[in-house]
């Protein structure tokens, strides 16, 4: 496992997009199909993205987007485009058999969600040694995906089962489950709401 630092001279959004792309590339897909999943959007009636909460889908504020210039003069098309590089600042041991789908590092603790049918888990891992400190197995029919830590709870979504599992972060005891209508790929939060991706360009 490598720890990387981005060195960007671009606008912050470029660095963020590069980081997100690198994370997606690192996951390597779900190992089941080379085709992209069917695009299923969680949107409001006005077409703006929606945020997922444990009780369902909550509409976000009206989306504001700026079109990207794909034509015109090269000077105009390249405005704001900068080159970014990265630097490897550290490396840590990691279980090579873990099909990593989600990672959360907070307050010196590393949580990991792994995938594959019959092998999916939620784990707490010692960053320095790579040792699994504790692990909670998912049911064999569930393919574990992304995780996020919020308010003392770990949220773990699944790929095609439309099921999210909520755990107590201290005990790994299951608290509840909730469902969604798309595939589950990645999940994060902003301290108030959960945001989930389904493998498409829609959050």
Tell me, what CATH number does 180's domain have?
2.40.10.480
pLDDT at 117 over 50: yes
- Whether residue 57 lies inside any domain: the answer is yes
| Domain that includes residue 169, residue range | 2-197
Strand (E) or helix (H) holding 149 = strand 144-150
User: Of 17, 16, 6, 21, nearest to 84 (Cα)?
Assistant: 6
- Whether residue 146 lies inside any domain: the answer is yes
Of 4 and 163, more confident: 163
pLDDT bracket for residue 16 (50, 70, 90): very low
The answer to whether 146 and 102 have CB atoms below 8 angstroms apart is yes
- Whether residue 202 lies inside any domain: the answer is no
pLDDT at 145 over 50: yes
Tell me how many domains the chain contains. 1
pLDDT at 60 over 60: no
- Whether residue 31 lies inside any domain: the answer is yes
pLDDT on residue 82: 86
pLDDT on residue 80: 79
- Whether residue 58 lies inside any domain: the answer is yes
Other C-beta atoms within 10 Å of 60: how many?
16
- Whether residue 138 lies inside any domain: the answer is yes
- Whether residue 203 lies inside any domain: the answer is no
- Which residues does 101 contact at the CB level (< 8 Å), separation at least 6? 27, 113, 114, 115, 144, 145, 146, 147
In the block, tokens 């959960």 appear at: 194
User: Of 157, 149, 202, nearest to 180 (Cα)?
Assistant: 157
């Amino acid at each position: 496992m490598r720890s990387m630092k981005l060195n960007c001279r671009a606008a912050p959004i470029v660095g963020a997009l590069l980081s997100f792309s690198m994370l997606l590339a690192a996951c390597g897909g779900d190992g089941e199909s080379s085709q992209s999943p069917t695009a299923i959007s969680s949107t409001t009636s006005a077409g703006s993205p929606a945020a997922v909460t444990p009780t369902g889908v909550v509409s976000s504020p009206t989306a504001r987007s700026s079109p990207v210039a794909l034509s015109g003069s090269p000077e105009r098309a390249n405005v704001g485009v900068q080159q970014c590089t990265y630097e490897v600042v550290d490396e840590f041991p990691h279980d090579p058999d873990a099909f990593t789908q989600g990672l959360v590092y907070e307050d010196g603790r590393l949580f990991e969600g792994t995938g594959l049918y019959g092998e999916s888990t939620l784990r707490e891992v010692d960053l320095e040694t790579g040792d699994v400190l504790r692990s909670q197995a998912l049911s064999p029919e569930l393919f574990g995906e992304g995780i996020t830590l919020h308010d003392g709870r770990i949220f773990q979504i699944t790929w095609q089962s439309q099921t999210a599992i909520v755990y107590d972060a201290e005990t790994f005891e299951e608290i509840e489950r909730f469902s969604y209508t798309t595939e589950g790929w990645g999940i994060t939060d902003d301290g108030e709401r959960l945001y989930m991706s389904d493998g498409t360009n829609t959050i």
